[in-house]
A and B are shown apart, each in its own frame.
Chain A
């Protein structure tokens, strides 16, 4: 059996890729994908610990997280469509009207 540390390393790597994407990209679609990566990093953790402790709860929980991610994407796609309609682009730095 693969030790749990490897799963944690994998999850950390996926999470950091997602974070890097959010911090560096301007494209809203890439934003959305990066967020998905971060969510799934969390899912990996849940499943890994679930297997490690022999407890099914964590796996069940990750199913919920997936459903949540699907819903979030639906909303996110809607926002991106509006963004595109208003700015003819999906660059997140263009929409900065809501500030001081």
Chain B
């Protein structure tokens, strides 16, 4: 029977086709190839929806489609491409293809209507990005995931540096590439180590590596190479190596510095790549192999702490930024911190839920910011805006919807998901893993900051009196900008309804569809139910009994406090820079805790001397040995060649002598003279 799964490869191939078309013929197509991209992503969306429906009927798909390297023999390591379509992948496919479609449409307004040049290159980049992200989502093994992970990084580089004639974007693109590559280096080592340990990198099915790891810990696995470590230790090391790639891609501390700079790229790119999808790749990877991480309490603890710390750390920096996209960039880092906290705290469903809601509301906020930037003639400084509310109501109300979701105000999407993440951290923290309470505390404080910076941004941009001529008479936007905003605005307001656990607890109405969605499935090793058992058996996570609505009320109160403070300070006709009163703290935050400076310091003061030393060793010792050997040969050759005199008599004499010597040697050895 031909079903959705037979067409699943087309989800990836369609955007790839649009990439080829835009690259080869974009010049001759109307709108620089935009329609090809729109058609391709729309096709992917339809197919994704079909896959989603098929998966929701209880099916799953886990097949190897192509083996590109196979060793000799039966029990050998194979490098393959394959598809893994389970509830998590189906959900992510929908998110990615929907956001990609909306971003393509929005680009018509942001790029085409603004008269940008180089559009085929732009749409080719978007197409390739969408294809590689979708490929990453459906990957059935770690190596394939890694390859698409890198492709995604490449597209990010190409699109951040889209305006390559200015000085900022190319430098930001390089930074993004290098910083994420630094993390990916650990990921690559991790992939190789996984192959060396398990002989396979498949995520699911018979002989998948999380399954083997589980068996190894239970003592029933056939063969696992752990290089002399105890299996628990070694699996933690593997998990942390792969986590390196996650931290780079999902912009977690200390590798988050590339993301704010990546805002140099076109705003739709920021929405697609640096908010909704690519940055999600890291978190998605952890969720994808959650059965592996759930075996290692240490790795989980580190994930939770990094996540909680990043959430707070980035939120504080967002408080003082002047540019609308910078605020959003830091909020992105902070929100991904929450997702990592959720994963580390054992909240697999909570983190996936936050991934889902964040994808929509952050794409919405970035596209809203894009609309504002169009209106402001590409001025991004919020202090030059103000009073845009009356002049662009559609943008205002959709942006408000996204902001309420981001700040976590009931009943918008972000509230439900962020609350659930924090709830998971709290119950597992109280239930015997006190480390998680530190993550919870940081996450909770970050809620207050989130509420504050979000509404500072809203009030500065849309409320009060216009502070410049441009803000008084903004540039209008068309349907192709408003359409995506409205779709995402409605989603940001409503998507939280798929999983309202506090409401369920209060009223008894069944409202946790996402839990149901992820809890069961044909591939039983990939379900939230199974992860729950693993967390309980191996990470020793137990839940304390805390009412979900109490925890929700606490975080809601904090978010409202933050938003209220922003209202008091900034919702006035002529706001002033209250953050300046923070003095040295403001400078610290405005300069991003001097993260860039200290990383440059590391590069110039630590890495550079080390490299010089290595260079000296290479030039002096390694090359010295090689050169020494060759000079001995040269010298010896220059002396010995002198026996080639060119005189025949000498040759004859040497021949005779040689023969005589040979005869004498043979004679002595052969005992002729005895």
Kindly state whether residue B641 has any CB partner on chain A within 8 Å: yes
Kindly state whether residue B646 has any CB partner on chain A within 8 Å: yes
How far is it, in angstroms, between the C-alpha of A22 and the C-alpha of B644 when the chains are bound? 18
Interface size, B (range): 10 to 19
Kindly state whether residue A85 has any CB partner on chain B within 8 Å: no
B652–A96 touching, CB < 8 Å: no
Task: Report A24-38 CB contacts with B as 1/0, cut-off 8 Å.
Answer: 001000010000000
Question: Among residues 3 to 49 in chain A, which have CB atoms less than 8 Å away from a CB atom of chain B?
Answer: 19, 22-23, 26, 31
**Shortest distance between the CB of B292 and any CB in chain A (Å):** 68
Question: Among residues 625 to 647 in chain B, which have CB atoms less than 8 Å away from a CB atom of chain A?
Answer: 641-642, 644-647
| Total A residues in contact with B, Cβ cutoff 8 Å | 13
How far is it, in angstroms, between the C-alpha of A40 and the C-alpha of B512 when the chains are bound? 111
How far is it, in angstroms, between the C-alpha of A31 and the C-alpha of B642 when the chains are bound? 24
User: B641's contact among A26, A93, A96, A100, by CB below 8 Å, is which?
Assistant: A100
Known: A92-B649, A93-B649. A23 touches B656 (CB 8 A): yes
Cβ contacts under 8 Å, A92 to chain B: 647-649
Kindly state whether residue B653 has any CB partner on chain A within 8 Å: yes
User: A98's contact among B641, B646, B656, by CB below 8 Å, is which?
Assistant: B646
Select the residue from B641, B642, B645 with max chain A CB neighbours within 10 A.
Answer: B645
A96–B646 touching, CB < 8 Å: yes
How far is it, in angstroms, between the C-alpha of A95 and the C-alpha of B651 when the chains are bound? 13
**Shortest distance between the CB of A96 and any CB in chain B (Å):** 3
How far is it, in angstroms, between the C-alpha of A44 and the C-alpha of B646 when the chains are bound? 33
* B contact patch SS: helix
Known: A100-B641, A100-B642. A22 touches B652 (CB 8 A): yes
**Shortest distance between the CB of A34 and any CB in chain B (Å):** 10
How far is it, in angstroms, between the C-alpha of A96 and the C-alpha of B645 when the chains are bound? 7
- B637 to chain A: closest residue by CB: A100
How far is it, in angstroms, between the C-alpha of A19 and the C-alpha of B655 when the chains are bound? 11
B641–A23 touching, CB < 8 Å: no
* A contact patch SS: loop
Cβ contacts under 8 Å, B648 to chain A: 31, 92-93, 95
- A28 to chain B: closest residue by CB: B648
- A19 to chain B: closest residue by CB: B656
Task: Report A65-92 CB contacts with B as 1/0, cut-off 8 Å.
Answer: 0000000000000000000000000001
**Shortest distance between the CB of A100 and any CB in chain B (Å):** 4
User: B646's contact among A19, A26, A31, A99, by CB below 8 Å, is which?
Assistant: A99
How far is it, in angstroms, between the C-alpha of A31 and the C-alpha of B653 when the chains are bound? 13
Kindly state whether residue A54 has any CB partner on chain B within 8 Å: no
Cβ contacts under 8 Å, B642 to chain A: 100
Cβ contacts under 8 Å, A98 to chain B: 646
A23–B644 touching, CB < 8 Å: no
B649–A22 touching, CB < 8 Å: yes
A26–B644 touching, CB < 8 Å: no
Known: A19-B656, A23-B656. A99 touches B644 (CB 8 A): yes
How far is it, in angstroms, between the C-alpha of A97 and the C-alpha of B649 when the chains are bound? 14
- B640 to chain A: closest residue by CB: A100
User: A93's contact among B647, B653, B656, by CB below 8 Å, is which?
Assistant: B647
**Shortest distance between the CB of A52 and any CB in chain B (Å):** 21
How far is it, in angstroms, between the C-alpha of A99 and the C-alpha of B642 when the chains are bound? 8
**Shortest distance between the CB of A44 and any CB in chain B (Å):** 19
B646–A97 touching, CB < 8 Å: yes
How far is it, in angstroms, between the C-alpha of A96 and the C-alpha of B653 when the chains are bound? 15
User: B649's contact among A26, A99, A100, by CB below 8 Å, is which?
Assistant: A26
- A26 to chain B: closest residue by CB: B649
- A98 to chain B: closest residue by CB: B646
**Shortest distance between the CB of A39 and any CB in chain B (Å):** 15
How far is it, in angstroms, between the C-alpha of A96 and the C-alpha of B644 when the chains are bound? 10
How far is it, in angstroms, between the C-alpha of A92 and the C-alpha of B642 when the chains are bound? 19
Select the residue from B641, B642, B647, B653 with max chain A CB neighbours within 10 A.
Answer: B647
Cβ contacts under 8 Å, B647 to chain A: 92-93, 96, 99
How far is it, in angstroms, between the C-alpha of A97 and the C-alpha of B642 when the chains are bound? 13
Closest 9 CB pairs of A and B: A99-B646, A96-B646, A100-B641, A92-B648, A100-B644, A96-B647, A99-B644, A22-B652, A98-B646
Interface CB pairs A-B, < 8 A, 7: A19-B656, A23-B652, A92-B647, A93-B647, A95-B648, A96-B645, A100-B644
Chain B residues at the A interface, C-beta cutoff of 8 Å: 641-642, 644-649, 652-653, 656
Chain A residues at the B interface, C-beta cutoff of 8 Å: 19, 22-23, 26, 31, 92-93, 95-100
Other A-B pairs, 12, CB within 8 Å; known A93-B649, A96-B646: A22-B652, A23-B653, A23-B656, A92-B647, A92-B648, A92-B649, A95-B646, A97-B646, A99-B646, A99-B647, A100-B642, A100-B644
